[in-house]
Amino acid sequence: MSSTTGQVICCKAAVAWEAGKPLVIEEVEVAPPQAMEVRLKILFTSLCHTDVYFWEAKGQTPLFPRIFGHEAGGIVESVGEGVTDLKPGDHVLPVFTGECKECRHCKSEESNMCDLLRINTDRGVMLNDGKSRFSIRGQPIYHFVGTSTFSEYTVVHVGCVAKINPAAPLDKVCVLSCGISTGLGATLNVAKPKKGSSVAIFGLGAVGLAAAEGARIAGASRIIGVDLNSNRFDEAKKFGVTEFVNPKDHNKPVQEVIAEMTNGGVDRSVECTGSVNAMISAFECVHDGWGVAVLVGVPNKDDSFKTHPMNVLNERTLKGTFFGNYKPRSDLPSVVEKYMNKELELEKFITHEVPFSGNQQGFRVHA
């Protein structure tokens, strides 16, 4: 048993006091975990665009002061009442969405959208009692998506913690807590391209590159990257992308360009931008009869997806996915094993490493 079990821990955390203002390294108090909660020692954390988006409070109701961060790797420090499948010392990945294992979604083989622990960006407190586990001199500090990994210690619901192989390097596998798994799973679990097939990836940011990595692992023979930034193609080659299309280079819709390149359309497409126009193009560029398009990006709330009904009647399939259809507790350990078995390459996703005190630098790099 840890010597700090049941005690308040004082540690460093990067606190966002106001929207868009620099994070401040503060001494925070982290309360012990309550029932069905786990307190983690965070060893490595990575930065996701979601952190930046909500830090800037774009189109959102500000909830500050707050501790951001949701991609991380750490060790269990202590567990609360009722936690039976984790113990101090376990190596884990905290995840922004959860798996209670009791609701209809968790019991379904087709869904990973847990009723209890589905992502909630507006809730800055724990489910157990509606209170925060963070404070500074008595002032509560809000959580972020139930993880708050920009802190040396954090408290997370047990359903949002995946126990992994202790031999896995946490500085590498921590990136699997969000975007990389989302893109990878969108291809492997939802699009499911066959060996030798053609795949179009819309958007070559981190999620899109992870989708391309999934196509590479699946054995796709043609992986067509679509992006408005032609400078991304050289980097995308490392992830298996074989061809590149910039819609700005053509005077016709990009779906028509891809159809001409592939004799009628690609077998699979994965959209990773959040642009509704890219979503429509991704759907309309797949081959009739068997083509499958998967939407990953999150659109603006007022966007409307429009396509001619014949595109559906001609047996094109449109799917959506959340976190790559991975159940955090059940499936993430196997994704880690793909890395350990050298099937999945994670090092090429990591572009910068900064000390915890340089957290704000990470925000500048990402922006």
161 vs 80: CA distance, rounded Å: 13
- Residue 225 pLDDT > 90: yes
Model confidence band, residue 59 (pLDDT cutoffs 50, 70, 90): low
User: What's the rounded mean pLDDT across residues 62-91?
Assistant: 96
**In the prediction, which pLDDT does 60 show?**
64
316 vs 269: CA distance, rounded Å: 11
211 vs 364: CA distance, rounded Å: 25
> Tens digits of per-residue pLDDT, 275-319?
999 999 999 999 999 999 999 999 988 999 999 999 999 999 999
- Residue 367 pLDDT > 50: no
User: What's the rounded mean pLDDT across residues 335-344?
Assistant: 98
Model confidence band, residue 123 (pLDDT cutoffs 50, 70, 90): very high
- 65 preceded by a cis bond (ω within 30 of 0): yes
141 vs 28: CA distance, rounded Å: 9
**In the prediction, which pLDDT does 356 show?**
79
**In the prediction, which pLDDT does 300 show?**
87
User: What's the rounded mean pLDDT across residues 113-137?
Assistant: 96
**In the prediction, which pLDDT does 138 show?**
95
**In the prediction, which pLDDT does 3 show?**
83
**In the prediction, which pLDDT does 359 show?**
61
**In the prediction, which pLDDT does 366 show?**
45
- Tokens matching residue 348: 């090429």
84 vs 302: CA distance, rounded Å: 44
Would the pTM count as exceeding 0.85? yes
Helix axes 49-56, 359-366, angle to 10 degrees: 90
CA dihedral for 334, 50, 114, 166, sign (positive or negative): positive
**In the prediction, which pLDDT does 361 show?**
60
- Residue 1 pLDDT > 70: no
Instruction: From residue 139, give the alpha-carbon distance in Å to each of 13, 101, 133.
Output: 14, 34, 11
**In the prediction, which pLDDT does 284 show?**
98
198 vs 207: CA distance, rounded Å: 19
357 vs 25: CA distance, rounded Å: 7
User: What's the rounded mean pLDDT across residues 203-221?
Assistant: 98
Largest Cα–Cα distance of the chain, in whole Å? Answer: 67
> Tens digits of per-residue pLDDT, 163-185?
999 999 999 999 999 999 999 99
276 vs 306: CA distance, rounded Å: 9
